[in-house]
Structure 1
């Protein structure tokens, strides 16, 4: 076998795959320990479950694999996105497992202001599509806040301008939350400040602001980039406290300006939006108070004049009561005269009456005529009554003739027979249904092994006394008591002997057949009690 292997005829050194891979790795890392690469992000799918991010940088002719470790990912100033042109700072290295070289990125920044503006516009479009910039969501500023919260740098000129302007217009309590307004952590610190002010409870140890001012001085796009943070824009939009944005100058626009409830051109303008002018309010109140006093005085004067005019138009009490008094006097005079005239008429009618015998006879004759007329009417009615009763009797007698009664009896007999037949049919149908149900229930009991007969088939017995009552306890049996034992194939009688054995008498031939042969009987044990 050794003779078949050709002998090597070269002096070149031999390397293993690991040795050559490690040598290439050291060479690349030594030559390109720190590089800046400009390219377009490709294949970015967000951080991996481990927190690392893997993607590629490419241009029109080449592609370079890239990786951002978890610790570096958390320090980036912006979120990488697919298709974004960036400048990556890091070191080149190789991955021996797949023979690839890649750049380990230590810092990542957009490639110029054009890229930042494109990123800003992309974020603006996405947040606007979600409705975060909708004017319907914006809150109205309180007219006269009691506490104002300011989120800005405590060392800059912005806070001094705001405090000075508030003191000039309307001095009140101001809370300052110090933050960085420039750098990688600016957006996160401002978002934390806004959320912290919203977390304060009303009536707590620290007063909860009625309005917030997020302020910063002017600067370049890179200087203001922290206020274009997406998380900050969402926090400002979700704030329960109205927010005034005063970032940069009039021409500087950030995402916070769109998400805030009100945008001020400058920090000083934000202070003017937050509070009114106290002197103007006092002047307005004084003017309103003077107008109110004048209105009250004029109203009272007008009412007084109206009352006086109405009093002059009203008549005096004597004038109002003159006509009713005259009517009352006239009615009193007519009443006296009417009573006198009525008395005279009654006296004249009484004097005209004459109680002579002729008058009484005439009255008696009239009454007799009326009595005769009424008696004749009664006699005529009584004469007609028997004839009417006779007609009714004749009609009823026709209905009570024998042939009519027989015909009615026959009809009743036919109806009674029909009802009896229907009753018999109904009873037979009901018995048939009950018999079928009983058969079905019995079959079901037998199928489910729930009937007492199936239990007796398994070797059990029912013990009952002479009256047929089931005995459930041994304590219920007295000495010498007659018992009936019910088996699956019949009954047997027995007598309780207390401590002695009971005598059982089979009641059926089947029970006799089950008795054991005489030669196989076991001897009785003396002193051993038994139920049977």
Structure 2
């Protein structure tokens, strides 16, 4: 067979040789790979832990599935989300069914999820949940232990990375709302060293003094941008949580986005959805305060003006009722006083006359006979009472007489000056009775008075009675003379 080249005209330009491996465009290769993946892995089941969930405004859900070595992106289309048996949540371990495809715009592969079922809680979240329960039982989450945030902070401490958009957003928001002093303590916010550096920063701020070279902040903000569970895991450290709970300075936790939750969010005094939100929670709006102050000042000025105008109006109204001269105001009362004074004398005379007539009428009803009759009636009543009570009075008098005689006899019996048989009384030289031995002295002359007479005596110096003189024993008689011995 003759090719077209055989009929080429002499002198024509030579044609380039054709390539057996023509180049492909990027799109051709990407879509070829996409078809290959979808044909080879059209139906797969994967088990993994959801580490990041992003719900798009369109209704689609983008997430990441991972295990201990690898991760794969996933997408759930809007029509499938409503029919899922389990809604995707960060940290949930699931089993998904779908197909592997690629995203040509980024030359990355992903799984299009068609169904999802729970496979159990993720290891990290299970560990976090146990720690959360223990700290809750210890009372670290108690709302009563949380401190109130200062209304007008003079100094704010920020604990975050010195680079990145987080610190710029916080500083810009604070400067816009409430210009105050901001002290940044730079730390790393990801990795194994993050929890230790954040804890040291909190303790360092807490040890500052208000009058030191660096003033102690009135409020602390712990901030970090969003990320996966692994990126934010350092803020779930137990030691960091206890440091936040023990801090004396109020702390706002602003870690991650609004859907991200870490352990320090529960122990901090306030949780902010974003770092920018933390700056808004920590500071008032200076412009609003100035406007409110200006409004109060205007209201106070207007209220004072209204009060003055009201008093001025009332004063004018009262002035219209007054006469032109002050003397005219007192003229009528003075005239009434003069008329009353002129009628006072005659009024007193008339009053005396009226009372005199009343006294005459009352005295006319009184007479000596009326008084005598009243006295006689009272005498009769008194006599009747006397007749009624006379026998009882006589009996009472007889009883009193008998009792008096008995008491008189007892008095006579007990009188020491009345001598009784077997008794005597001792009197001194003046006739006064001596009732105690202590009143006597040795050699004193006394008189002993008996019932039938008196005898004088002298007090002996000894304390007892005189002893009688003992009689001598009789001597034995001598035997008669001339009597011999019988033996």
With normalisation by structure 1, the TM-score equals 0.42
Max radius of gyration: which structure? 2
Q: By percentage of residues, which structure has more helix?
A: 1
Structure number with higher relative contact order (C-alpha < 8 Å, ≥ 6 residues apart): 2
With normalisation by structure 2, the TM-score equals 0.45
